[in-house]
Chain A
C-alpha cells in the first residue's frame, strides 16, 4: 500500500496547571490528548467522533499547527512536521487547511469575502500572482456554490450555510491536499447541513482531497467517512472501517455511544436496546488508571484498573477475518447481539468469523 499522506504517532497535548504568580509550580496537567495514533490515506476520509472534551478538536488544531504537541509525531508524507519552523513549516501548512465549526466567529466581520478568502495569497504569493487573485477568489466562490459577484460583501450579509461555504472556499484557496474539518455542519440548520455535506463530498472528488472529519453527529460521520476513530478522554478507543465500527463495535464505549443516538424511526422505539451509561466523563486532569473508560463501564473488572488496554485487534478476533477484527482498546472486547438485529442498522446476517457473546 502507498504511504499514507498523514500519519500521527503518540500524539500528546498536555496543558500545564500552575499555581503561584512569581514562582510558578506545575501542580498537574489537563491531558487533552493523551497518546493518539492514526493515519490518513490519500483521497480518504477519516471521521473522528467523540463527546465534548474528548480531545478531538485539540487533535485538529495540532494537525494544522495551531497548537504545538507536547509529544508525538505528525508525519506528512513521511516527514515529521511537528518541529518544523520558518519556510519549511510554511510550505507544509499550505497543504493542510482547516474548516472551522462556527461560521459566525471564524470569519472576520470587518473583512470582505474577497479579502477573507484572498488573504491566504498574501502569505503564499507563489500560489497566485497578484493580478490573478481576484479571479481566483471568484472562481472559488463559484466552486462552493456562491455567486461570484458577492466578492465585495461582508460576512453578516450571508446566512449560516453560506458562511460555511465561505469558510470552505478559504480552506480551498491554497489548493491543499488535506482538509481538517472540525464540526463543519453542527452549527447549521438541518435542511442546510445536507447541502454542505454534499458540497464537501463533491469537492473531495474534484480536488482529490483527503479529509479529517471531526463531528459528534454519528450518522453524518458514517455517511462521509471511509474509516472512523472513536475518541474518549484523549485517546482513540476504537478504530476501523465505517461498517466495522457502526455494525460490529467491540468497545463498550462505542456500543453505548451508538445505542444512545436517537433513531429517526418511531417504530424502533419499542424494540430498541439501550445501554445507559452512568455518570459523567471524568476530568482530563484526573484520568482513571488503567482503562480510562472503566469508571463508566458496566464490564469493568480488576484488570481494567491495573492495565492500560492497547489499541489493537482484540485477541479473540485476531485469527478471524470478520468485521469484528479491528482495533479496539478493551480487555474484554466483544460484539453484542443487539447489533445483529437492531432495526435501522442493516446488518448482514451472521458473518463468518464473528463469535461475539452477549452482555453478561
Chain B
C-alpha cells in the first residue's frame, strides 16, 4: 500500500470552541490508483489532505490521533527535517488557486527550477533546462520563451499546468490534488484533468483527488470516499456508488443533480445545512438532515459498516445502509 491513513483526528482551537474538523478518517491509496475524496466545504476533506502532506497550520490545528503510513512509515512520527524530504520528492500537492499558490515576483522558470536546485542540488543552468522540459511535458506552448515569464502572464489553465509541472518535477509517488479544476472553465477543466490522468498513468502515481464535483469524480476516480462533518460516511468503488449509494447523504447528493427527465419538476434537495464543526450533532452527524433518521441515529454514532456485496470493498456509516442500498 502506497498511502494509508488510519483513524486520523484533527481539531482546531477557535474562539467558539474546539472545531473537530476530522474525526477518525481512514483511507488508502495504491500506486496507479485514483481515490476521490468527495465532500462539501467544512467536511474535512482538505484538512485531512493537509495533515497527510504535513502542511497543516499548527496551531491552531492539532492532530490528536491517528497514523499516516507512507510506504509503511508513519509520517506523523517524523521530524520536520525528514518530513521535508518526503514532501515534494515523494508526495506533492496541487492546489485550487494556482495564482495565489505561485510566487508573483519570481518567473515560473525560477519556481520550477527551485525544485531541482533545492532537492537535487543542481546548478541553476541545469535546473532551467529541466524547467523547460517540464513545461513541455505539461504542453505549455513555446516553453523556451515562456519560462522567463511571471505567473500573471499565464492564463488560468496554463497556470494550473505549471502547478502540475511543479508537483510532477521530482516524480513523486503520490499526488494530492485539492479541487484542481474548480477555478477553471469547463473546456479548460477537461484539458487539465486529461493531462493529470495521462501523467498519472505514465508514472503510475497514486492520486488523491479532492473535489465536490460528482461529475469530475465519475470521470476519473477508481474509488470514492464521501466525507461529511469530518468523517467518511461512505467508501466504495466508483461504479457501485453511482449505481446504488449506501448512505442517505450520498444518495441525496446524487439525487440533487438536475436530470433530463426531471426538467420542470422540483429538484431533490437535502434539507438544512451542514453542521457547525464546533457543535457536531450527537449520534450520526447527518441525522438532522436525513430523511431516514430514526431514534438510534440521534444517540449512536454509526461505525463504517462493511457493506461489501461483490468482491470490491464497500463501507457505509449508516445504521440503515441495507434500506438505503436496496430501498
Contacts and interface: CB of A to CB of B under 8 A. Distances in A.
A219 B266 CA distance: 14
Contact of A263 (B185, B189, B215, B252): B215
B242 A265 contact: yes
Interface string A207-249: 0000000001011101100000000000000000010000000
B38 to A, nearest CB: 9
B219 A262 contact: yes
A327 B212 CA distance: 35
Contact of A260 (B189, B221, B257): B189
A33 B261 CA distance: 34
B211 to A, nearest CB: 10
Nearest to A283: B155
A206 B169 CA distance: 57
A68 B186 CA distance: 30
Nearest to A247: B260
Nearest to B154: A280
A277 B187 contact: yes
A95 interface: no
Given A189-B274, A198-B267, A267-B239, A216 B185 contact: yes
A306 interface: no
Contact residues of B: prevailing secondary structure:
helix
A220 B267 CA distance: 10
B273 A276 contact: no
B186 A264 contact: no
A269 B189 CA distance: 16
Nearest to B257: A264
B219 A263 contact: yes
Nearest to B276: A159
A161 B268 contact: no
Interface residues of B, number: 45
Contacts of A189: 40-41, 212, 274
Q: Contact residue range for chain A?
A: 35 or more
Contacts of A191: 40, 252-253, 256, 269-270, 274
Contacts of A345: 260
A21 B194 CA distance: 46
Given A190-B256, A219-B258, A280-B155, A264 B267 contact: no
Contact of B215 (A51, A216, A223, A264): A264
B294 interface: no
Contact of B273 (A52, A159, A274): A159
A260 B215 contact: no
A280 B158 CA distance: 9
Contacts of B44: none
Interface string B154-194: 01111000000000000000000000000001111111011
B194 A51 contact: no
Contacts of A277: 187, 191
A338 interface: no
Nearest to A219: B258
A266 B218 contact: yes
Contacts of B252: 191
Contacts of B258: 197, 219-220, 222-223
Contacts of A274: 190
B269 A257 contact: no
A257 B185 CA distance: 9
A197 B267 CA distance: 8
Interface string A16-40: 0000000000000000000000000
A344 B194 CA distance: 21
B218 A51 contact: no
Contact of B263 (A192, A195, A223): A223
A51 B269 contact: no
| 7 closest A-B pairs by CB | A262-B215, A223-B258, A51-B185, A194-B269, A194-B256, A260-B190, A264-B214
Given A190-B40, A257-B186, 10 more contacts: A52-B185, A162-B273, A191-B252, A194-B267, A218-B186, A260-B189, A262-B215, A266-B218, A277-B191, A280-B157
Interface of B: 40-41, 155-158, 185-191, 193-194, 212-219, 221, 238-239, 242, 252-254, 256-258, 260-263, 266-271, 273-274
